[in-house]
Chain A
C-alpha cells in the first residue's frame, strides 16, 4: 500500500487526518518546503546521498540483535531487536535530522530551529547543524530542560542555543508552539526541523520517508538472520516517527504492527499520553494538523504525563490515526511502573539499555511473547539508548548509590565556588 499516494484523495490527508492548519503568513513557506521535498523524493541521487551520509556519519545500517536469553526466559516467541540506539547521538532521531539537513541545503536556508522533548531530537539537530554549519536554536520546555540536563549540555556545547520554554505545561507541545512563533517571524532564512511525523503536511510524510530507512534495513536483516519475516513488530509511539520508520518495512506483508504508547499512571488516571490505546482522546486540530488529541470537550489540551519525556505529547501522527481506524496497526500502552521493570529485565538478561521511550515497546513485547509459539518471531525497534538518560533512569530506579554520588558532586562544586 502507498499511503503517500494522494492522487485519489486530498493532498496531505490520511483518511480524515492530517492536513495543513497554519497561519496564512506561513502558506508560502510550507509550499516552498513541499515543492523542495517533492523534488528530493523524486531524485534517486538525493536518497543515495542521504544513505551514504548516514553510513559514514552515523553507523548505518544499524544491526538486528537476536535476544536469545530473554526469548528463552520468556519461553515464547523469538525476540529480535533493531538497534537504532547505535546511531550517532544515540537514537533514530538522527535519520530524520540528517535528511532534513540535506534538504535544508537545497532550500538554501542557513538557520534551523527545532523543538525537543527528551532532548534527543535537539541533540541530533545541534549535531547536524554543527556538521552542516547552520545557526541553530532549540526550543525545549522548561520542565524538560530540568529533567534532561545532559542533552542540554551537549546541545549547548555543540554550538546550539537552547531556549527553555516557560509557557503552558512547559513540555514538548509548548516547545512546538514556540517553534511556530519563531518560524512565522524568521521563515525567510529559517527551516523548522520538526522532529516527529506530526505537524502540518508535508512533515508527517517527510519524516516518515527519512525514517523508512529503519524498516527497509530491518526487513532485509530479518530475512537474512531469521530466515523469514517477523510475525509482529513493536515500536514505541510518541509522535510516531520511529514506529512509522520500522512499520513501513512491513506494510505490504502479513505482519502484525503494534504501537506502544505511554500509559503513564495507567487507565483512568488522566496522567498518561495514550491517545489510541486508551479511550481519552478525541479528534481535534492543533499544532498544524488534525488527529486524535488528549483534549477536553472545549477543545483545550489536557495535561499529559510519561516517565519518558519523548512520549509525553498530546497528539499522534495522523497516519497512525488513520491506520488505527482501519485496523492496520494495533495500539497498546505501557505504564511507568511496567517500563521500569522491563528496563531492569532487559539490562540484566541481555546487557541492553533501551531508552525509557523504547522500553515501552519492550513492555508490550515481553507481555505478549510468552503467549506466542517458540517458532514465532517478534521484532522490537530499540529507537534510542538509555545510557545517556542516566539521570532519569537513576531517578526512575530510585538508585541510592547514584544519589549519594550526586550529593558528593554537589559538595565538590560548592567547595569550588567558595
Chain B
C-alpha cells in the first residue's frame, strides 16, 4: 500500500497519527530495534530511519551527536538498508528513509530509489534537496511507487507553497518553526496558520514536526494535522531513561 492510502486507512481508526524517528546505528542497531519495538507497541504509525551523514546541517545538537557517533562506530549505508528491511518485515508501521542528499547522490538516484523499495520503505525525506533539484529523483520514485516527502515551512510564501504543493506526494512535512531539530516549539496560532496555508496548496495528508515533545502538543494538533512527528524528544528520553522511560514516554504521549 502506498503512503497516502496507508495514512488514510489508519486515519479511519484515529484522528491523529504519529511518526517517530531513529538515527540508524545510534546508540546501536540493537538499541534501535528495542526503540522500534516500543514504538510499535505504542501504536506508532510511521517511522523515519535517519541514515547518518557527516554534515547534518539541518539537525540540532542531539541528532548531530547521534549522526557523528553512529558514523564513528562504523555504520554504513548497507547496514541501514539491511536494518530498514528487517524493520519493515517485523513491524506493522511504515518506514521512510530520512537523510541528506549526498547519500542518495553518491550511490546514484536510481539505485537509491530501488534500494528503499527493496528494503520495504515507502518514501524518503531529504531536507537539503530542494524541489528544483528533484525532477529526476521524483520521476524515478513515481515509477517505483515510493514517495518523496516535501517540506513546507513558515517562511514559504504562498507562491512557493503552490510549487511545493504541486510536487507533494504521500504526505507533506510541515516544519512548525524556524531553526533546527530539537528545540521547543510553542504550539500556537502560527502553527495552525501554517497548517491551514499548507492545506490550501496540497491534497496529501500533513504531518507537523519540529519541537513536538508531549501529549499537549498532540492534543493541540488533533483536528488540524494528520500526523504528529516526534523526533528529538524520544531520543532524549531514551538517553536519559532507557527502554522503560521510552515505553512510558510513548504510552503517555499516545494515551
Residues of chain A whose beta carbon lies under 8 Å from any beta carbon of chain B: 19-29, 167-168, 173, 176-177, 180-181, 184-188, 282, 284-288, 295, 297-301
Contact = CB atoms under 8 A, between A and B. Distances in A.
The prevalent SS among residues of A at the interface is mixed
Interface string B109-131: 00000000000000000011110
A24 B210 CA distance: 14
Interface of B: 52-60, 64-65, 68, 71, 76-77, 100-103, 105-107, 127-130, 132-133, 150-157, 160, 164, 175, 178-180
Contact of A28 (B57, B58, B132, B157): B157
Contacts of B100: 286
B175 A25 contact: yes
A62 B72 CA distance: 46
Name the residue among A286, A288, A300, A301 with the largest chain B CB count within 10 angstroms. A300
A21 B106 contact: no
Contact of A24 (B52, B54, B175): B175
The prevalent SS among residues of B at the interface is loop
A27 B102 contact: no
B137 to A, nearest CB: 12
Given A21-B128, A23-B153, A26-B155, 17 more contacts: A21-B133, A24-B127, A24-B150, A24-B164, A25-B151, A25-B154, A28-B156, A167-B65, A180-B57, A181-B179, A184-B58, A185-B178, A187-B155, A288-B128, A295-B54, A297-B106, A299-B102
Contact of B105 (A173, A185, A285): A285
Contacts of B54: 168, 286, 295, 300-301
B174 to A, nearest CB: 11
A326 B107 CA distance: 25
Nearest to A181: B180
Contacts of B107: 299
A198 to B, nearest CB: 13
Contacts of A188: 178
Name the residue among B102, B133, B157 with the largest chain A CB count within 10 angstroms. B102
B153 A181 contact: no
A137 to B, nearest CB: 15
A21 B53 contact: no
Nearest to B52: A300
Contacts of B157: 28
B201 to A, nearest CB: 13
B153 A25 contact: yes
Contact of A184 (B103, B133, B164, B178): B178
